[in-house]
């Protein structure tokens, strides 16, 4: 046994800290992981940043970028190559989410829903025919999907959903109900709908997943209007009125509420990285501004109060990066848990929200106009704080994990 230091836990111990990476996170990433991150960062800088402010103000998702998502392999990037996906590890997938949300939460949400909430359940619960039909097209971005779980009255309590799929004598299904706050809902070609298949089910034991084409008779979508957050994202309400589905529309390996919750675990993992990306964007903007904005004959970055702000931002971002990186390594090793994902999502979105607010304040009056990005991120992160399990829901998940007692009921 030796107490000598070792660098075997570092992927690239030879790397020295680069500008903007005070804690040398890069040395914990492999060359391939850094290459993935840098590729997506260039895409965001060259294609997203020039247009995202206008998209936000106009309230539109930039559909013109979807072919780039497919060409770069950003959709379902951690799913197998045999289905047309990139086959990357989960750390690389997380870095993709980080860089996309450096651009905008709506941009990351598009990729996150497509990959973690649509492609993942098709891969995990679908038939081989369903996988072969949908996954290669979705990886290319030529088919878009959405995920229908949340309802107007059942968000944090999805087991209470009222959407029903009733099986007919010939094995087909009739679907009725509706879903709310659905990302990609008005541009999707297919929706993964979660519905109860038995009456009197109060705990979600009869919940199954169904692949529902959005051009099916009885399917309707309506954009949610008046949003003050996630404005560069397609958020919709879905209505299902006597939709007739073939017998093979069901995801055959899905069953009980556990199935959609498994999907949410995948999405929450990506959010933990994405939130850090939003925080990084705000910190970098605030740091740059502090060096250029002159007040009382000196850059404001030379004043103690602004240096404290920047130091606090950097510290919280660094902790968030390390949480997500370690979680990604555990996910790649197959030893992560949903409770660990809850901790990462809860912590990182919370710190990102604080960083965005402090960056906005450092920017002063300029911080409220679309030319700068921190207030856009701040508004977006209020939605991220709420969706995929609210901050308080994740608190209760962690509370149950450490006490062994269920406080949900």
Residue 62's CATH number: 1.10.540.10
- What pLDDT sits at residue 240? 98
Q: Is the pLDDT of residue 365 over 80?
A: yes
In which element (H, E) is residue 244 found? strand 235-245
Residue 200 pLDDT class (50, 70, 90 cuts): confident
Sequential DSSP letters for 98-138: HHHHHH-HHHHHHHHIIIIIIIHHHHHHS-HHHHHHHHHHH
Report the pLDDT averaged over residues 188-205: 92
Residue 157 and residue 92 share a domain: no
Residues 163 and 196: beta-carbon distance below 8 Å: yes
198 is catalytic: no
Which band of pLDDT confidence, cut at 50, 70 and 90, is reported for residue 202? confident
Model confidence pLDDT, tens digit, residues 325-339: 999 999 999 999 999
Share of the chain above pLDDT 70, in %: 98
In a domain, 408, yes or no: no
Of the residues 96, 111, 140, which one is the last residue of a structural domain? 140
Q: What per-residue confidence (pLDDT) applies to 182?
A: 97
Last residue of a domain, one of 255, 286, 315: 255
- Say if CB 179 and CB 163 are below 8 A apart: yes
Give the active site residue among 33, 285, 358, 388.
Answer: 388
Residues 81 and 194 in one domain: no
Q: Dihedral, CA atoms, 135, 151, 356, 232, nearest 10 degrees?
A: 60
Instruction: Check whether residue 72 and residue 149 sit in a common domain.
Output: no
Q: Is 303 exposed, middle or buried (0-12, 13-18, 19+ CB in 10 A)?
A: middle
The model's confidence at residue 8, banded by pLDDT at 50, 70 and 90, is low
Residue 10: its pLDDT value, please? Answer: 81
Flag whether pLDDT at 187 surpasses 90: yes
Q: Is the model's pLDDT at 32 over the cut of 90?
A: yes
* Average pLDDT score over residue span 16-27: 86
- For 24, 71, 143, 229, 271, the CA distances from 50, given in Å and listed in that order, are 29, 20, 26, 19, 23
Query: Does some domain include residue 299?
Result: yes
Does position 1 have pLDDT exceeding 50, yes or no? Answer: no
246 within some domain: yes
> Do the Cβ atoms of 177 and 165 come closer than 8 Å?
no
State whether 177 and 236 are in the same domain: yes
Q: Inform me whether the pLDDT recorded for 121 exceeds 60.
A: yes
User: What is the mean predicted confidence (pLDDT) over 383-408?
Assistant: 94
Residue 321's domain is classified under what CATH number? 1.20.140.10
User: Which residues make Cβ contacts (< 8 Å) with residue 178, sequence separation at least 6?
Assistant: 151, 152, 163, 237, 238, 239, 240
Domain containing 131 equals 25-140
pLDDT at residue 54 greater than cutoff 90: yes
- Residue 8 domain flag: no
End-of-domain residue from the set 118, 140, 162: 140
> Mind listing the pLDDT tens digit for each residue in 211-259?
999 999 999 999 999 999 999 999 999 999 999 999 999 999 999 999 9
Question: Which pLDDT score is estimated for 9?
Answer: 67
Would you place residue 21 in the very low, low, confident or very high pLDDT band (cuts 50, 70, 90)? confident
Per the domain annotation, does 19 fall within a domain?
A: no
The answer on pLDDT for 400 being more than 60 is yes
* pLDDT at residue 204 in the model: 86
Q: What's the pLDDT at 3?
A: 52
Question: What are the DSSP E strand ranges found in 68-224?
Answer: 145-148, 164-167, 173-183, 190-196, 207-213, 219-223
pLDDT digits (tens, 9 = 90+) for 254-310: 999 999 999 999 999 999 999 999 999 999 999 999 999 999 999 999 999 999 999
Residue 2 banded pLDDT, cuts 50, 70, 90: very low
Total structural domains in the chain? 3
Is the Cβ–Cβ distance between 180 and 151 less than 8 Å? yes
């Amino acid at each position: 046994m030796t107490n000598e230091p070792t660098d075997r836990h570092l992927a690239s111990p030879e790397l020295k800290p680069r500008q903007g990476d005070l804690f040398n996170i890069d040395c914990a990433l492999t060359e391939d992981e850094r290459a993935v991150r840098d590729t997506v960062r260039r895409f965001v800088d060259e294609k997203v940043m020039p247009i995202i402010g206008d998209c936000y103000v106009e309230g539109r998702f930039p559909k013109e970028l979807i072919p780039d998502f497919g060409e770069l392999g950003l959709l379902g990037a951690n799913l197998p190559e045999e289905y047309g996906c990139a086959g990357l590890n989960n750390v690389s997938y997380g870095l993709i989410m980080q860089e996309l949300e450096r651009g905008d939460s709506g941009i990351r949400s598009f990729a996150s829903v497509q990959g973690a909430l649509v492609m993942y359940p098709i891969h995990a619960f679908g038939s081989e025919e369903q996988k072969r039909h949908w996954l290669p097209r979705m990886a290319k971005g030529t088919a878009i999907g959405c995920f229908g779980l949340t309802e107007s009255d059942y968000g944090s309590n999805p087991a209470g959903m009222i959407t029903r799929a009733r099986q007919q004598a010939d094995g087909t299904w009739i679907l009725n109900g509706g879903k709310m706050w659905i990302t990609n809902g008005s541009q999707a070609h297919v929706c993964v709908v979660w519905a109860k298949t038995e009456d009197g089910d109060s705990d979600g034991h009869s919940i199954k997943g169904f692949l529902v084409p959005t051009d099916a008779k009885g399917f309707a979508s309506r954009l949610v209007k008046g949003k003050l957050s996630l404005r560069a994202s397609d958020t919709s309400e879905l209505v299902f009125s006597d939709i007739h589905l073939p017998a093979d529309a069901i995801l055959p390996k899905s069953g009980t509420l556990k199935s959609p919750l498994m999907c949410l675990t995948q999405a929450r993992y990506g959010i933990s990285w994405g939130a850090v990306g939003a925080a990084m964007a705000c910190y970098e903007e605030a740091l740059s501004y502090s060096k250029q904005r002159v007040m009382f004959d000196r850059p404001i970055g030379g004043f103690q109060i602004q240096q404290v702000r920047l130091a606090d931002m950097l510290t919280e971002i660094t902790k968030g990066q390390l949480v997500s990186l370690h979680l990604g390594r555990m996910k790649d090793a197959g030893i992560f848990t949903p409770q660990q994902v809850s901790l990462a999502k809860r912590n990182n979105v919370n710190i990102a929200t604080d960083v965005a607010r402090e960056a906005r304040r450092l920017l002063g009056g300029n911080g409220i106009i679309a030319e700068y990005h921190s207030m856009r991120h701040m508004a977006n992160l209020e939605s991220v704080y709420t969706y995929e399990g609210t901050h308080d829901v994740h608190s209760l998940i962690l509370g149950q994990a450490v006490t062994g007692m269920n406080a949900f009921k």
